Structure formats: structure tokens, C-alpha cells
Amino acid sequence: MTKASSRVLASQKRSKVTTSKLWWFLILGGGGVATVVIILILLSPPAPVGLIDGMVSYSNLSREHSEAPQTYPQTPPVGGMHSSVWQNCGIYDQPVRNENAVHSLEHGAVWLAYRPDLPAAAVETLRSLAHGHDHVLLAPYPNLPHAVVATAWGLQLPLEDASDPRLSLFISRYEQGPQTPEPGATCSGGTGTPIAN
């Protein structure tokens, strides 16, 4: 074997070793990157549910507790400082205290407020919607600017008709929904005695 051919053989061996190392590097490196991507996807928060037509979203709401009466910028309030005791969810025939209802919103409740002068048939429609839900609060609300207002933490849907199909959609999306600051928290054992659940 000549010196030249032995250099060629040595060069080919080095090339095979280098190529082999390169493949192992690419396989292991690619596997590591894929693993990191999968972990990031699994740990990422769920995509937000789209807003319902006519719904308004509010952010940066305080979750502090206070037993003092509060003034809220929305009617009814969508969140903010509230009582340390939540309103028991269910159906009420009298208004409930804002500060307790806001705590229920923090627990994932949907608050259905309606004008006290709403026709009886419309109130019955709302009671049918609320019946059987663990985290729905239904109560009349004096001086409400709309016939019905559906509220969840940071979200509000004003409506003029109790049979608007967006109302049941709001309940299904936001009762214990993705906006809930304290998912899994109870809506019973607080204050108030609903006339029905």
C-alpha cells in the first residue's frame, strides 16, 4: 500500500467516524428539542374561549377581601374587591349583596341578574336556565340597565330578552370556565338561602 492510498483510507475512516458522530448528535439533539417542545405544549395554558357577540371583557380586577360596602364601575359588578363570604349559588327572588355575589364569581359562578319588573314568563325562563347548575346565581337587580345581564369573573353579556340563545351559551362556556380565578371552589356553604337550586 502506498503512502497516498493509506492517507485516503485514513481520511475515509475519519470521515465515517465524523459522519457517524454527526448523525448521533443530530438524532440526540433533535430528540431533546422535540422533548422540550412537547413539554412546553403540555404545560401551556388552554386557549381562551372566544367572546360571545355583545360580551364585554374586563381585566386587572382586584381579588382582595373587604367587608366594607364597595362601589363598582359595572352594573352588576364583574369582579373586584369583595366580601370574604360568597353568596350561595341558586335561585333568589330578592336582590343579593354585590360584595358576596362577586366572591361567587371568583369561585366560577355565572350571575344572572334581571330587572325586578321583568314579566313572570321571562323570570320563569331564567329559572329554567339556572335550575340544576351548581355555579349559577339568579337574582333580581334593581336599576339594572338591561332586562338581563349575565356575568362571570371579568365578563359581562347584557341582553334585552331572557330567551336569547346567547344566555345558555354564556352559562355553558363560563360556569366554572377558563376565566375562573379559583377553579373548583364551592358555591355553597356561604351566605344566603336560595328558593331553589
| Nearest of 42, 84, 69 to residue 190 by alpha carbon | 84
Cβ-contact 112, 136 below 8 angstroms = yes
Q: Are β-strands 155-159 and 56-57 bridged in parallel, bridged antiparallel, or unpaired?
A: antiparallel
Separation of alpha carbons 125 and 16, rounded Å: 78
Separation of alpha carbons 13 and 37, rounded Å: 36
Task: Give me the helices (H) in the chain, please.
Answer: 3-43, 98-106, 120-130, 165-174
pLDDT at residue number 60: 92
> Which architecture does CATH list for 56-174?
3-Layer(aba) Sandwich (3.40)
Which three cell numbers mark 26?
443530530
Domain residue extents for the chain: 1-44, 56-174
List the pLDDT tens digit at each of the 197 positions of the chain.
566 555 544 555 555 555 566 555 556 655 555 665 565 555 544 444 567 999 999 999 999 999 999 999 999 999 999 999 999 999 999 999 999 999 999 999 999 999 999 999 999 999 999 999 999 999 999 999 999 999 999 999 999 999 999 999 999 999 999 999 999 999 999 999 999 87
Separation of alpha carbons 114 and 158, rounded Å: 10
